[in-house]
Amino acid sequence: MTQNSSHPKQREEPKNRLPAEAFEALEKLYRRVDKEISESGVECWLRGDCCDFEKVDHTLFASSLELEYVREKHPETFPPDNVLCPFWEDGRCVERERRPLGCRTYFCDGNFAEQLQAIYEKYHAEIRELAKRYDIPYSYEPFVLALRT
């Protein structure tokens, strides 16, 4: 049987699926992050510059829980040659609801860098606790590279 190359290849199902409660807890955490950031005064200029990691010399990292969340929501495999985030299309993020913590706290406006770093550290610690609570082995990996595997 020949696979149609216009359709993304499906990722193999993990043998031990993560509990839905872990993803629900992560979604609640993301809503709290978004609320805190919206109250901080920082604004997204919707230029897409911060997502062009190569241009801004930035490596986005994500936890194992966040990576599994993205894989669950996007079972297709991602192109191995993609140096940019697979959700960055035409200069914009097309997956704002499911983006990892690092995306949520990284903005072009450097005036908020310290405040956003503190927000990141606070919620990253909570993500580690979620991983522990749901018995998910913790790792912290470059997001784009990890999605290729």
- Answer whether residue 77 is part of any domain: yes
Q: Is 57 left (phi over 0), alpha (psi -120 to 50) or beta?
A: left
Task: Identify whether 82 is part of a domain.
Answer: yes
**Residue 40 is assigned to a structural domain of this protein:** yes
pLDDT beyond 70 at 17: no
For residue 125, give the amino acid letter. A
* Residue range of the domain that includes 83: 20-148
Does the residue 11 lie in any domain?
no
Give the span between the Cα atoms of 109 and 122, in whole angstroms: 20
Cα–Cα dist 106/130, whole Å: 22
Give the tens place of pLDDT for each residue, 93-142: 888 888 999 999 988 788 888 999 999 999 999 999 999 999 999 999 99
Provide the pLDDT for residue 82: 62
Which tens digit of pLDDT belongs to each residue from 33-63?
999 999 999 888 777 777 777 777 888 899 9
Report pTM: 0.82
* Number of separate domains in the chain: 1
Q: Can you read off the two tokens belonging to residue 5?
A: 């190359």
Confidence (pLDDT) at 74: 82
